[in-house]
Amino acid sequence: MFSRVVPFLLFYSVISIQAAVLFPTGSTWRFLRGTNEASFPDTLAWTGSTNNFNDSKFVDAPAPFWYGDIREGGTQLLDMQNNYTCIFLRKGFMVTNAAQYSVLRLNYFVDDGLVVWVNGQEIWRDNVATGPVSTNTLAGNQPIDPAVYTNITINTGSGVLLNGSNTLAVQVFNTSAGSSDLGFDLSLEAFVPETIPPTLFSVSPEPGSVLTNLNSITVTFSEPVVGVTADDFLIDTQPANSVTGSGTNYTFTFNTPPYGGVFITWFPDPGIPPPRCDPVASLTS
């Protein structure tokens, strides 16, 4: 039987960060039922900062927001079914030295879909078709029910966050007026990129190993990183199928390659801000 020889050619393509929690899950939001547009004639005015929009029609209400699938605490929407298909939410938060933050992370669950804005700029949508949204917009079918928490890391660039007061706005959508449930909660973190990138601390199996089976590789960095995705990791130029892990440790899984030398590289431009492809290891058999 031939063995797989695993030469590695690994390049750094992730970003090391320091995190600041801007607000946690279970926070109190400004809340409005979607019986009418939150602002008119500019239907997006409500997504802007508090200084530029009068949200007196909104009320304070705690997350999570839900009906149907039971969530602990929060705001139960007993009147939503067959009456309205979306809710409007606004959350103020403070930022000092906004220029240092270029990456945001949303940690949320949603049943069924949402669109997220920061200071009037859309930064993310989940299970909602592209294009303008209104109180008539419906979400797609919920892929996992009940909804579970997910993380998404977003490169916002400069100018999205402001020094001082900021507003994150969310419109949560149901699949239909008669839907049996709705749910939502979200936390927000911001990250400060480091100027000194992390290095590869270890790789398992070790470069140059002779193996009879190879369908996963674990990479350990010298410090925590974020923004790692399966398609960042290439096996004979093909992306991994999946990645698990967080912090310093990530495990990539993939289809077993043919017998012979297997070359492992990072995708040269992974889109993780700022893109880095500085070689930190050239490990060959």
d(CA 42, CA 53): 11
- 25 pLDDT band (50/70/90 cuts)? very high
- pLDDT (tens digit, 9 = 90+) per residue, 35-89? 999 999 999 999 997 667 889 999 999 999 999 999 999 999 999 999 999 999 9
In this structure, the number of other CB atoms found within 10 A of the CB of residue 149 comes to 12
Residues 33 and 166 in one domain: yes
Residues 229 and 262 in one domain: yes
Distance of CA 232 to the CA centre of its chain: 16
In a domain? residue 279: no
pLDDT band at 269 (very low <50, low <70, confident <90, very high): low
**Do 86 and 204 have their domain in common?**
no
Read off the pLDDT band of 15 (50, 70, 90). Answer: very low
Query: Do 182 and 107 belong together in one domain?
Result: yes
pLDDT band at 271 (very low <50, low <70, confident <90, very high): very low
* CB environment 243-272: b (16+ within 10 A), e (fewer): beeeebbbebebeebeeeebebbbbeebeb
For 87-141, how does the pLDDT look when each residue is reduced to its tens digit (9 = 90+)?
Answer: 999 999 999 888 888 889 999 999 999 999 999 999 999 999 999 999 999 999 8
How many structural domains is the chain composed of?
A: 2
* Average pLDDT of the chain to the nearest whole number: 84
Question: End of a domain among 143, 164, 193?
Answer: 193
Sequence-ordered list of residues with C-beta below 8 angstroms from that of 100, at least 6 positions apart, any chain: 192
Residue 274 lies in a domain: no
Residue 195 confidence (pLDDT): 61
* Range of the structural domain that residue 234 is part of: 4-16+196-266
